């Protein structure tokens, strides 16, 4: 029993020492001065168990240990990987916060615009197009509900579907390419014909 207990104790001791040995070998004779960080930061890095390669990558994109350990991505409401990727291309925290939430809104915009034709167009400061799409949708629904016996339902249903699809496609294109200089040359306008239950699509370059 004593022999087994001794072996277990030795195994446990080795298990505790191995990470420290590997960690020491990982850093070698590297000093804080060589890395361009303070002694306090260097101590914090070692205590956290961060690898040398990880620290070098952070320093390469301009992130100091103190900044990293403060976990600024949580304050911004973004993920760590997103924060690091934006720091790598030179974005400031305020810029990436706006970009992140804008991208999240852009993902939902086509779906919202499909359900509520004209809603995104109003939000993107295009009231004429928004009014045209929303008016077309409302008129189509009203026709389906109130005058379904007098009017063939296929026509107002098709008009409603066209307004929903156009609104969603417009939102998709606008959120993806609004900041693209080439895309700004491309403008799309819709002219709903409420009495004819059709839509005229004009594309202008």
Q: Is residue 145 part of a domain?
A: yes
Predicted TM-score (pTM) of the model is: 0.43
Is 24 domain-assigned?
no
On whether residue 122 sits in a domain, the answer given is yes
Query: Which of 35-39, 43-47, 98-102 shows the lowest per-residue confidence on average (mean pLDDT)?
Result: 98-102
Total number of domains in the chain: 1
Q: Is the pLDDT of residue 49 over 60?
A: yes
pLDDT in tens, 146-198: 876 777 888 888 999 999 999 989 888 887 775 444 334 434 443 344 344 34
Q: How far apart are alpha carbons 62 and 120 in whole angstroms?
A: 38
CB-based burial of residue 13 (10 Å sphere; 0-12 exposed, 13-18 middle, 19+ buried)?
exposed
Which pLDDT score is estimated for 12? 52
Provide the token pair at 88. 């790598």
Q: Is residue 70 part of a domain?
A: no
Tell whether 33 is covered by a domain.
no
Residue 125 inside a domain? The answer is yes
DSSP string, 32-93: HHHHT--HHHHHHHHHHT--HHHHHHHHHTT--HHHHHT-HHHHHT--HHHHHHHHHTT--H
Domain ranges, residue 184: 109-204
- Tell me phi and psi for residue 192, to 5 degrees: -70, 140
Question: Is residue 98, in this structure, part of any structural domain at all?
Answer: no
């Amino acid at each position: 029993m004593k022999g087994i207990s001794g072996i277990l104790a030795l195994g446990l001791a080795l298990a505790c020492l191995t990470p420290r040995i590997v960690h020491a070998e990982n850093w070698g004779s590297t000093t804080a001065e060589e890395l361009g960080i303070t002694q306090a930061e260097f101590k914090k890095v070692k205590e956290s168990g961060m690898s040398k390669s990880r620290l070098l990558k952070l320093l390469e994109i301009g992130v100091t240990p103190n900044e990293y350990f403060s976990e600024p991505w949580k304050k911004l409401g973004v993920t760590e990987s997103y924060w690091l990727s934006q720091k790598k291309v030179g974005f400031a925290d305020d810029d990436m916060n706006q970009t992140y939430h804008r991208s999240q809104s852009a993902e939902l915009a086509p779906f919202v615009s499909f359900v509520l034709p004209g809603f995104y167009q109003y939000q993107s400061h295009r009231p004429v197009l928004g009014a045209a799409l929303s008016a077309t949708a409302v008129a189509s629904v009203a026709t389906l509900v109130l005058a379904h016996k007098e009017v063939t339902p296929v026509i107002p249903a098709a008009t409603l579907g066209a307004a929903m699809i156009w609104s969603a496609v417009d939102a998709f294109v606008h959120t993806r390419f609004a900041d693209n200089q080439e895309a700004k040359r491309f403008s799309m306008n819709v002219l709903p014909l409420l009495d004819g239950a059709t839509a005229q699509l004009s594309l202008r370059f």
